[in-house]
Amino acid sequence: MSKRPSKEMNKYWRVGEPMVWLSGAALTLTLLSAVTLLVVIVMNGLGVFWPSNIEQVKLTDGTAVYGQFVRSEETADGSGLRHQYKIANRDLYGLDFRWIDQTDIASTGHPRDLIVLERSEHGDFYGTLQQLFTVAGNSVAATFDNLQQQLSAAKHDLELLSELEKKLNDASYEMEQMRLTLLKFDYEGVPAGALERQELEQRKSELDARFADLIELQTRRVDDARKAKAVFADAGGRGKEVVLLDIVQAYTPNTMSTTDKVIFYGGKLVELVAGEPRESNTEGGLFPAIFGTVMLIFVMSLFSFPFGVIAAIYLREYAKEGPLVRIVRIAVNNLAGIPSIVYGIFGLGFFVYGIGHSIDALFFPERLPTPTFGTGGLLWASLTLALLTVPVVIVSTEEALGAIPREMREGSYALGATKFQTLYRVLLPMASPGIMTGLILAMARAAGEVAPLMITGVVKLAPALPIDGNFPFVHLDRKFMHLGFHIYDIGFQSPNVEAAKPMVFVTTLLLVLIVLLMSSVAIRLRNKMKKRYTFGTF
C-alpha cells in the first residue's frame, strides 16, 4: 500500500507531467506581466482627473494643511505609518507633495468650504475664499456661487482676448511672410525703387501700424480684465491674491456629489483631448500632440501604403520566381527587423541634411542660413516612418495575395480577363483585409515609434499646428508634437517629475488605448482572413 503512491509518483515524473505544469507557469508569468503593465497604466491613468476629497489635516504642533491623500507607507525606522499628501500651492510652499507621519496628525476633516483652483500657472491651489473683487474693483460677497459667476465673466473676457490674440498671430505671420518676400527681393536684386517693392513696403508699414494698435488694445484689455481678483487663504490662514483670469477652473470636491464628480471627470477628459497643454506640458490638454500624431500617421500612410502595395504586387504577381526574387524577399523581410534608430539616422542624413539642404539651396536661398526644409520637420519624419513601415505593408500584402487560391486566378484567366483585370477585379478585393491589416499594423507602429522621430523633427512644444488658416494651409516643414515623444519628454525632461507623473500616465493610457485598438482590429481582420483561406504565417 505504501509503495503504490511512490510508484505512481515516479511515473508522474517520468512522463513529464510536471514539465507541462512548468511550461504553463511560463505562460502564466508572461500573461501576468502583461496584465500588470496594463493594470499599472489604467490604475494610475484613470484616477488622475477624479476630483478626490481634500482633507484638512491638523498636526500636533498646531499647524494645519489641506491635502489630497496619495498613499501610505511604513516609516524608515519601522515605527509607524506615514502618509503622502498632495498639498498643491506650489508658489507658497515650493513643493507639491508632503509626507506626514501618522504620529504627528492630531485630527483630519473635510471642510465643506474648501475650494480647489486649477490655475494656468503654479499648479493647483487648495484654500478657502476670503474676498472677491469684480472687474470694476467692487468687493462682492465671498461665496462660491459669486466666484463662479465672476469666473464665467472672466472666461468671457478670456475668449475675447484669445480672439484678439488670434488676430495678432495672423498679423505676425503675415509680417513674417513679408519679411521673407523682402529677403527674396534682396536676393533677386530687385532694385530699391521697384514698384512691387514699394507696394510691399507700403503694405508692411500699414500692417506694422495695425499690429501696434492690436498690441495696445490687447494690453489695455488684459490690464482691465486682470482687475477681477479673489483672495484665498491656505490652511494656515495665509492669504493669496489670485487674478481670476489666471484661474482655469474652481470646484469644491468635498461638497460635490458622485454625479457632479462624474460630470467634472467627463469635462476633464474633453479638455485632455481638445485642450492646449499648460505648464510645460504637465497640465492641460494633449490636442497638439494628438493632432501631430494623426497628421504624421496620415502623411506616412500616403507614402508607405501605395508604394508598399505596388512593391508587393510586383513581387508576388509580376516578378519571375527565382533566386533574385528570393533574395529581395529576404531583404524586405529583413528591413522590417532593422532597428528604428537606424532609420532615424538615415532620415537625418539623407532627408534632412541631404534633400532638405538641396531644397533650401534651390528654392529658399534667400532665407539661408535659416533652414526651411533643411531641418527636422513633419515631412521628413513622415518619410522616415514610411520607410520604416513599407516592409510591414509589403510583407502583409504579399501574404494576403499568396493566400488566395490559385483557382481564383485561373478562373479569371479562363473567362478571358487580362492579368491587370484579374488583379484589379479579383485579387485586390480578395486580399483587401490582408492589405488593411498591414496598413493598420504600420499605423500602429508609427503611433508608438519615438526614436527616429526624436532626430527628425519632433519637439516638446510646437509653436503652431502643421495645418492652419494661413496659405498654403498645410505646412509640412513645421516641427510637430507626438504622443510618444510627449511621454518621454514630460517623464524624463520635465523639471518636476513628481508633479508631471499624472500627466505621463494619462498620455500613456491614451497611447496604449489607441495602439491596442488599432492592433486588435488588425489582428481580428487577419484572423478572419485566415479562416477564409487557411494558411500558415511562419
Partner 1 sequence: MNQAFRKKIKRNDRIARWVITVGGMAIIFSVIFILVLIAKVSLPLFLPPDAELHASTRMPRVENIRAVGMDEYLETGYVIDASGTIRFFNVKDGAPLDQELLSGAGGNRSLLAVETYGRLNHVLRWSDGSLTIDQVKFRPYFDAENDNRRSILHRVESLASFPVPATGPGVQTLARVGGEGRQVRIDLYSDNRLLVQLIEVSENFLGEEEVTEAEHQLAFDTAGDVSALVLSSDGTRLYAGTKQGELLRWDLSDSEEPTLLEKIQAFADRREITVLNLVYGDVSLAVGDSTGQVTTWFPVRDDSGVWKLTRIHDLSRHSAPVAAISPSPRDKSVISFSSEGLLVDHMTSERSLLSLGRKDRLQLYSMTTRGNAIMGLTDDGRLQSWKLEIPHPEVSLGTLFGKVWYEGYDEPVYAWQSSAATDDYEPKLSLTPLIFGTLKGTFYAMLLAVPLAIFGAIYTSQFARPRLRALIKPAVEVMAAIPTVIIGFLAALWLAPLIERSLGSLFLSLVLVPAALMISILAWQGARKIEPLRRLERGFEFLAVAPVVILAMAIAAGLGPGLEQTFFAGDLKQWLFTEMGTRYDPRNCIIIAFAMGFAVIPIVFTIAEDSLSNVPSSLKAASLALGASRWQTVWRVILPSASPGIFAGTMIGFGRAVGETMIVLMATGNTAIMDLSIFNGMRPLSANIAVEIPEAPVDGSLYRTLFLSAVILFVMTFIVNTVAEIVRQRLRAKYGRF
**Given 10, 21, 206, 415, the residue binding partner 1 (CB under 8 A):** 21
Binding of residue 358 to partner 1 (CB under 8 A): no
Q: Which stretch binds partner 1 (CB under 8 A): 116-124, 137-145, 314-322, 363-371?
A: 314-322
Torsional sign, CA 387, 391, 396, 398:
positive
Question: Among residues 32 and 270, whose Cβ is nearest to partner 1?
Answer: 32
Please state the separation of Cα 366 from the chain's center in Å: 35
Map grid coordinates 503504490 to a residue: 4
- Alpha-carbon distance of 312 to 329, in angstroms, equals 10
Please state the separation of Cα 157 from the chain's center in Å: 29
- Alpha-carbon distance of 386 to 297, in angstroms, equals 9
CB 276 within 8 A of CB 288: yes
Strand-pair category, 229-233 with 97-101: unpaired
Binding of residue 538 to partner 1 (CB under 8 A): yes
Question: Among residues 24 and 411, whose Cβ is nearest to partner 1?
Answer: 24
- Alpha-carbon distance of 336 to 338, in angstroms, equals 6
- Alpha-carbon distance of 169 to 156, in angstroms, equals 20
CB 53 within 8 A of CB 254: yes
Shortest distance (Å) from residue 123 CB to partner 1: 19
The three grid cell numbers given for residue 195, joined into one nine-digit string: 514698384
Shortest distance (Å) from residue 68 CB to partner 1: 20
**Given 253, 292, 344, 466, the residue binding partner 1 (CB under 8 A):** 344
**Given 65, 114, 158, 313, the residue binding partner 1 (CB under 8 A):** 313
Question: How open is the CA angle 387-310-528, to the nearest 5 degrees?
Answer: 90
**Given 142, 256, 269, 319, the residue binding partner 1 (CB under 8 A):** 319
Q: Which stretch binds partner 1 (CB under 8 A): 96-104, 105-113, 162-170, 332-340?
A: 332-340
Give, as ranges, the residues between 425 and 454 that touch partner 1 (CB under 8 A). Answer: 441, 444-445, 447-451, 454
Residue 373 φ/ψ, nearest 5 degrees: -100, -10
Question: How open is the CA angle 453-459-464, to the nearest 5 degrees?
Answer: 120
**Surface-to-core class of residue 391, CB atoms within 10 Å of its CB (0-12 exposed, 13-18 middle, 19+ buried):** buried
Binding of residue 47 to partner 1 (CB under 8 A): no
Map grid coordinates 518676400 to a residue: 181
**Given 348, 392, 426, 476, the residue binding partner 1 (CB under 8 A):** 348
Shortest distance (Å) from residue 483 CB to partner 1: 9
Using CB under 8 A as the binding criterion, the count of chain residues that bind partner 1 stands at: 104
In eight-state DSSP terms, residue 244 is: G
Binding of residue 215 to partner 1 (CB under 8 A): no
Shortest distance (Å) from residue 481 CB to partner 1: 14
**Given 64, 230, 296, 387, the residue binding partner 1 (CB under 8 A):** 387
Shortest distance (Å) from residue 102 CB to partner 1: 18
Which residues touch 212 (CB under 8 Å, ≥6 apart)? none
Binding of residue 81 to partner 1 (CB under 8 A): no
Shortest distance (Å) from residue 349 CB to partner 1: 5
Give, as ranges, the residues between 253 and 282 that touch partner 1 (CB under 8 A). Answer: none
Shortest distance (Å) from residue 530 CB to partner 1: 11
**Given 156, 238, 419, 532, the residue binding partner 1 (CB under 8 A):** 419
**Given 118, 124, 279, 399, the residue binding partner 1 (CB under 8 A):** 399
Binding of residue 345 to partner 1 (CB under 8 A): yes
Binding of residue 288 to partner 1 (CB under 8 A): no
Give, as ranges, the residues between 471 and 530 that touch partner 1 (CB under 8 A). Answer: 484-485, 487-488, 491-492, 497, 501, 504, 508, 511-512, 515-516, 518-520, 523-524, 527
Q: HEC profile for 52-79?
A: CCCEEEEECCCCEEEEEEEEEEECCCCC
